[in-house]
Structures are given as structure tokens and as C-alpha cells.
Amino acid sequence: MSLVKIFVGTMYGGALDVAEQVQPLFENAGYDVVVFDQPTLADLLDTPTELALFCTSTTGSGDFPGNLTAMLHDLQKMSPSLVGLRYGLIALGDSSYVDSFCGAGRALDELLQGFGAQRLGERLEIDAMETFMADDVAIPWVESWIVDQQLSVA
Ligand SMILES: Cc1cc2nc3c(=O)[nH]c(=O)nc-3n(C[C@H](O)[C@H](O)[C@H](O)COP(=O)(O)O)c2cc1C
């Protein structure tokens, strides 16, 4: 069965909630789904990963949530090729942090592409100033993403 891995970067659980809410959408599309809330580089490189969804908030001033830093540190240290990885990216942020809005999601996107991964579609940026429940935006976005990118294997 096809596998999609969901990698979560979160401080307060909002991005993890989004991951858990969209998980059934992938299952309905015919995928096995694994959600990583303490992801390691091995989680990304093993198998290897062909399809992934990254779902991360931003903390500090455009910084990565703490639970992502080990994986990203190792990624930069090992510089593996991510050619063959296709991914989507959901960034949670708050536009009151004007200069660093969704900074972690944007930086992660750049990092992944720098190692050869291919983003499918546009990055989704969810602004806490506009959206109280991130799921309300994330669920329809993932539904469309699965259709638009012809990901369904069911
Ligand atoms: C201390 C702190 C720093 C933050 N810094 C940023 C930031 O630099 N840029 C941004 O877009 N959002 C920032 N945010 C907003 C969070 O990314 C946003 O509230 C997000 O929905 C939190 O998701 P989480 O529960 O998964 O951590 C910050 C929030 C806090 C509490």
C-alpha cells in the first residue's frame, strides 16, 4: 500500500491537530499514513519517503519549533539527496509577526527544495489572525490537494 508521511513541527499542538485531522483524508484516498511528531532524519530517509506532508508552525522570530530542530540539524549536516520526495507544506503562523510570518514553513520549504525535493502545488499558509481553527482551512486544502495533484490511489 502507498504511504504518506506527515511531519509535524509544533510548539502548542496546533500543527499536530491539523496533521491528525487531515490523516483520514489520505486514508480515504488509499494511503497508509504515519504522523511523526518527534521526527528524525531517519524517518524521512528510510523506506525512502516518496510522498510527505510537512505541517509546521513558527516560533520565536521565525524559528523552527523545538521538535523539528533535531531532524533539520541532521539534514543540514548530512546533506542527503531528497530527489524523489514529493511533498506538500502547511505553514501555521501569525501575521502580527510581520517580518517572520510563517518563517519556519518558508525556510523548511526552501531547505527541502535545496536538497532536491519537489513541492506539489503551492504552500498553504494559515494565519492565526484570520483563522481561529486551522483545521477549517487545512481540511479543504488537503482535499483539493489530493485531487489536484492526482494523489488518490484508492
Ligand atoms: C512565542 C511565540 C512566537 C511566535 N512567533 C511567530 C513568528 O515568528 N512568525 C509567525 O508567523 N508566527 C509566530 N507565532 C505564531 C504561531 O506560529 C501560531 O500561533 C501557530 O498557530 C502555533 O501553532 P502550534 O500550536 O502548532 O505551535 C508565534 C507564537 C508564539 C506563542
For residues 32-48, average pLDDT: 95
> Which residue, judged by its Cα, is nearest atom 22 of ligand 1?
57
- Ligand 1 atom 12: residue of nearest CA: 93
Enumerate the domain spans of the chain: 3-148
**Category of 7 on φ-ψ map: left (φ > 0), alpha (ψ -120 to 50) or beta:** beta
Average pLDDT over residues 50-74: 98
Tracing cell 509544533 back to the chain, one arrives at 10
Residue 154 in this model has a pLDDT that exceeds 80: no
Instruction: Pick the atom of ligand 1 nearest to 63's CA.
Output: 8
Q: Could you tell me the distance, in angstroms and rounded to a whole number, from the CA of residue 39 to the centre of ligand 1?
A: 19
Q: What is the pLDDT of residue 15?
A: 98
Looking at residue 120, its pLDDT comes to 98
Cα 23 from chain centroid (whole Å): 12
Tell me: the pLDDT tens digits for 128-140?
Answer: 999 999 999 999 9
Average pLDDT of the segment spanning 74-88: 97
Pocket of ligand 1, candidates 21, 55, 57: which has the most ligand atoms within 8 Å of its Cβ, to mutate? 57
Distance 127 CA to ligand 1 centre (A): 10
Mean per-residue pLDDT for 65-69? 98
| Residue 30 confidence (pLDDT) above 80 | yes
**C-alpha cell recorded at residue 27:** 486514508
Q: Which pLDDT band, with edges at 50, 70 and 90, does 32 fall under?
A: very high
pTM: 0.98
Mean pLDDT of the chain: 97
**Parallel, antiparallel, or unpaired for β 124-127 and 118-119?**
unpaired
Residue 94, pLDDT score? 98
Whether domain 3-148 has CATH 3.40.190.10: the reply is no
CA 26/CA 4 separation, integer angstroms? 8
Pocket of ligand 1 (CB under 6 A): 10-15, 57-62, 65, 92-94, 97, 100-103, 128
118: pLDDT strictly greater than 90: yes
Q: What is the pLDDT of residues 85-108, one digit of tens each?
A: 999 999 999 999 999 999 999 999
Least trusted range by pLDDT, from 48-52, 53-57, 86-90, 102-106? 48-52
Ligand 1 atom showing the smallest separation from residue 62 Cα:
8
Question: What integer is the mean pLDDT of 63-70?
Answer: 98
Q: What's the half-sphere exposure (Cβ side, CA atoms, 13 Å) at 76?
A: 9
Ligand 1: nearest atom to the Cα of 134: 21
